[in-house]
Amino acid sequence: MPDAGGRERLPPAACSPAGPGVQYRMRRCSIPVPAAGAPARYPKRYRPGVQAVDIRQLECFIAVAEEGHVGRAALRLHMTQPPLTRRINRLEREVGVRLFRRTPAGMELTEPGAVFLDRAYRIVRLSEDAVERTRLAEAGQVGQLVVGYFGSTIFEAVPRLLRGFLQAHPEITLTLERAPKDVQADAVRDGRMHAGFSRSYRDEPGLKVRCIQREPLFAAVPAGHPLLAQGEVRVADLRDERMVLFPAAPRPSFADEVSQLCKQAGFAVRAVREAEDAVTALAYVAAGGLCTVVPRSATTIALPGLRYLPLADGPLLELSCLHRAGEPSPMLRAFLRHLDSWSAAAR
């Protein structure tokens, strides 16, 4: 016996969407294809809508539209003609518009059918793209990589590393964010940043540090400085020099490492100026009167009146990558593989 909603009540079932003990079977509703030029009329319980159309129906519609014949379209789709005809009829019922004119020669698109074909192409392409990009994401081949950097880390190694990764993964986009080490650590831990590059990271819970490069130090001096005659310098040669150190914050920083280096050489550094970053410090040097110490990567900065000398007895400075510990995302996993490969080749 049908209920108020037009559904036929069946014998009690153990489980039903309507609750325990109730099971329903939907009655068939025959909705005719509207005649050409006639307004579509539907029962109150049925209204056409895009949500009723699936991708397979669109593929069938496209095949019939392109072939102009149900039989040829059926062969192309590896199916028989009757099921294809039923699919087209059902599609027209669901859309509520006659999409084809049936002629002795085959099937011709109506004007609404031509409009529907254009949209059907877009939907099928979007569906295929969604599947493809989802698979690429699972393989770490697509997405947005957010990378933090600070100071001189961006001058040489990191751009080359990132360029190689993006060339191998063209579907990944890159966002660079300048941030101090402590800000990087918080952002990486919270998932707002995939990786960060800096020097002398502290041990942080939930984070992992990878050293990717060790580079020598150089003394930066103004053009015409007497030390240039030596070809290279030792830390002790900087005893009487007025120095600009960087960065001014956060601390501890590379500035503290240079101060400690001078202390180990038997003197206190004459720091007369602190700069925000390496570029600013080197601008002070180029202006004359001050010197500084920089990692090799910073020597790519060429300013008028600026010269560099190898620091013969200086230590190697580590460049490190910070990322979350544990199981990385597919994209980060691909990035770390590239990072390890690049680091091994650079040594």
173-201 tens-digit pLDDT:
999 999 988 999 999 999 999 999 998 78
How far apart CA 14 and CA 99 sit, in angstroms, is 44
Confidence of residue 11 (pLDDT cuts 50, 70, 90): very low
**pLDDT over 90 (residue 5):** no
20-72 tens-digit pLDDT:
443 434 334 444 555 555 555 544 444 554 456 889 999 999 999 999 999 99
For residue 180, with 0-12 CB atoms within 10 Å meaning exposed, 13-18 middle and 19 or more buried, which class applies?
Answer: middle
284-335 tens-digit pLDDT:
999 988 999 999 999 999 999 999 999 999 999 999 999 999 878 889 999 9
- Among 299, 305, 220, 300, which Cα is nearest to 258's? 220
Q: Sheet containing 292-295: which strands, arranged edge to edge?
A: 292-295, 217-222, 306-310
How far apart CA 288 and CA 284 sit, in angstroms, is 7
Rounded to the nearest integer, the mean pLDDT of the chain is 85
**How is domain 217-314 classified at the architecture level of CATH?**
3-Layer(aba) Sandwich (3.40)
Higher pLDDT, 82 or 26: 82
Higher pLDDT, 279 or 18: 279
The pLDDT value recorded for residue 288 is 86
The domains spanning 53-138 and 217-314 adopt the same CATH topology: no
The pLDDT value recorded for residue 10 is 43
What is the mean pLDDT of the segment spanning 1-24?
43
Could you tell me the two tokens for 151? 């100071």
Q: Domain boundaries in the chain?
A: 1-27, 53-138, 143-213+319-346, 217-314
Percent of the chain with pLDDT over 70: 85
The pLDDT value recorded for residue 46 is 46
Helix axes 111-138, 330-346, angle to 10 degrees: 50
Residue type, 171: E
142-168 tens-digit pLDDT:
889 999 998 888 888 999 999 999 999
CATH topology of domain 53-138: Arc Repressor Mutant, subunit A (1.10.10)
CA 208 to chain centre: 21
**pLDDT over 50 (residue 17):** no
Output the pTM of the full model.
Answer: 0.64
Domain 143-213+319-346 homologous superfamily, CATH: Periplasmic binding protein-like II (3.40.190.10)
What is the mean pLDDT of the segment spanning 211-234?
95
How far apart CA 97 and CA 295 sit, in angstroms, is 71
What is the mean pLDDT of the segment spanning 192-220?
92
- Among 232, 201, 218, 221, which Cα is nearest to 298's? 218
